[in-house]
Amino acid sequence: MTAKPSAQKKKEGLLRRHFGADTAEIMKSINASIDIDRRLYNQDIAGSVAHCNMLVSQGLITEDDGLAITRGLEEVRKEIEAGQMEFDPALEDIHMHVEARLTELVGDAGKRLHMARSRNDQVATDFRLWVRDALDGLELAFQNLHKVFIDLAEDHVETVMPGFTHSQPAQPVTFAHYLLAYVEMIGRDRGRLRDARGRLNECPLGSAALAGTSFDIDRELTAAELGFDRPTANSIDSVSDRDFALEALSAAAIAAVHLSRLSEELVLWSSPSFGLVRLADEFSTGSSIMPQKRNPDAAELVRAKSGMIIGSLNALLITVKGLPLAYSKDLQEDKKPTFDSLDTLLLCVEAMTGMMGSLEVDKQRMREMAGAEYSTATDLADWMVREGGLAFRDAYNAAGAVVNLAKDRGCRLEDLPLIDMQTVEACISDSVYEVLSLDESVASRSSQGGTAGARVREALSSARARYL
């Protein structure tokens, strides 16, 4: 019985060293990327099938060889998915593993597959395909998150809450209006991810190592089969840049920042000090020692993981920034930060979708906090400008004096007697009380994009049409 060839022998059957000493053991370890890039197997096989079909179409290999190769590649795919593929660092990467196994299965035909391509354009194509697939998955996840926000907002058009500046209650708004702020942020996040997808959707295959190929290939055919809009325009650029990954990670980092800000608010608002919302049990944990605790762990983890996503962007920027054209081995290190970042963002989006979809809102507590700290003082100043003819700065100062007076009396603005207000500013009349309540304050903010109910309903209708 013939012994099964080692991974090193398989590699030597494909690539022969043309210089003296054997590879150092540590070199074999540092050179291998199979533990990371094995995730590209689907994309690698898809690219190889498209390349094979193009070679047949151009008469560069026979139809019989093409059929053997495509059938063999499908068998390799099945073996990998069934966990039957033996991955060995000696074969370095997923591309060599697929080619080596293909050659074992179909013989010499497998050796013809690499005609008119290099691992440089092969990996650039595989990587673009993977990032594109990841962005498509994120688009769907963000759409689901969008729906949760819009549905929740529609339930809370009349729910008054404090709007904050500097983490202090500032002016009353509705919870729907607050949620719509994140709807717009998420909309821009989706737009950036779609923009990144659009720019990356060019096919590097056929660029070969860096200079193109002397074979009569059809790059348009290959690009079309793989769902790309067009082939890349320059062979050097095709294999040497990773700005498509950088753009995706940049968009991911911005989206993660938005999720982190929301997480911070969920952590604060679910605390007893605020008590505005309650995270569902499914997204909370207990303490190992304090039985009364409900910890907002899911929100805290989203907040923390945003830092990792930002770090991945920085890591890839630093890797690429000093590289001369064209390909350098440094680019082998582009996959891990990209995989980690986009995987983590997807996890965070799905976790946030669950948290917001099951969020319990304490309407009464929101209203109580909205009415605290004289949050309708701006409405008082606006009234004095509109009804009393004061310049805004004079009205601003008068409203501040009225607030101080209410504090001294220990009462709300709307409970301060008119005669007391008039000691500050004589133009104040009984009609001022019409603007000092929470509901009137909210209803008055009717400028485009404001928190008034009619404007919020307009925004909800627009958001549903734009994003769902």
pLDDT in single tens digits along all 468 residues of the chain: 344 565 555 655 565 555 566 777 887 778 788 889 999 999 999 999 999 999 999 999 999 999 999 999 999 999 999 999 999 998 999 999 999 999 999 999 999 999 999 999 999 999 999 999 999 999 999 999 999 999 999 999 999 999 999 999 999 999 999 999 999 999 999 999 999 999 999 999 999 999 999 999 999 999 999 999 999 999 999 999 999 999 999 999 999 999 999 999 999 999 999 999 999 999 887 666 766 677 899 999 999 999 999 999 999 999 999 999 999 999 999 999 999 999 999 999 999 999 999 999 999 999 999 998 899 999 999 999 999 999 999 999 999 999 999 999 999 999 999 999 999 999 999 999 999 999 999 999 999 999 999 999 999 999 999 999
**R_g of the chain, CA atoms, integer Å:** 31
- Alpha-carbon gap, residue 161 to 179, rounded angstroms: 11
The C-alpha atoms of residue 203 and residue 122 are separated, in whole angstroms, by 10
Residue written as token pair 């000696």 = 90
Written as six digits, the tokens of 255 are: 């989206």
Please state the φ and ψ torsions of residue 361, each to the nearest 5 degrees: -110, 130
Phi-psi region of 212 (alpha: psi -120 to 50; beta: other; left: phi over 0): left
* Dihedral-angle region of residue 271 (phi above 0 means left; psi in -120 to 50 means alpha; beta otherwise): beta
Judge contact between 142 and 342, C-beta under 8 A: no
How does DSSP assign 267-282, residue by residue? HHHTSTTT-SEE--GG
State the pLDDT at residue 7: 57
Cα gap 275→349, rounded to integer Å = 24
- Which H/E stretch holds residue 376? none
Distance CA 369, CA 366 (A): 5
Longest dimension (CA), the chain: 108
Is the CATH number of domain 7-115 3.30.1280.10?
no
Indicate the domain borders of the chain. Answer: 7-115, 120-212+233-368, 373-467
Altogether, the residues listed in the chain come to a count of 468
Beta bridge partner(s), residue 230: 202
Neighbouring-strand partners of residue 360: 278
The single-letter DSSP state of residue 325 is S
Q: Measured between alpha carbons, how far is 177 from 55 in angstroms, rounded to an integer?
A: 57
Residue in 301, 295, 350, 284 with CA at minimum distance from that of residue 148: 350
User: What does DSSP assign to residue 296?
Assistant: -
Q: Rounded to whole angstroms, how far apart are CA atoms 429 and 407?
A: 20
CATH class of the domain at 120-212+233-368: mainly alpha
d(CA 315, CA 322): 13
- The answer to whether 352 touches 179, Cβ cutoff 8 Å, is no
pLDDT for 2: 41
pTM: 0.92
Identify residue 126 by its one-letter amino acid code. Answer: D
Q: Which of 401, 412, 407 is nearest to 376 (CA)?
A: 412
How many CB atoms within 10 Å of residue 363? 14
114 contacts: CB under 8 Å, gap ≥ 6: 99
CATH 1.10.357.10 holds for 373-467: no
Asked if 333 contacts 125 with a C-beta cutoff of 8 angstroms, the reply is no
Neighbours of 62 (CB within 10 A): 13
Cα–Cα distance for residue pair 77/75, rounded to 1 Å: 5
Identity of residue 89: P
What residues act catalytically? 166, 287
Three-state SS for 169?
A: strand
Q: How distant, in Å, are the alpha carbons of 110, 287, 393, 419, 435 from that of 384?
A: 84, 53, 11, 16, 11
Helix and strand totals (H; E) in the chain: 20, 6
Alpha helix (H) ranges present in 289-376? 297-320, 335-357, 363-370
Q: What amino acid occupies position 341? A: S
Pairwise CA distance, residues 20 & 29, whole Å: 19
Q: Which residues pair with 169 in a beta bridge?
A: 164
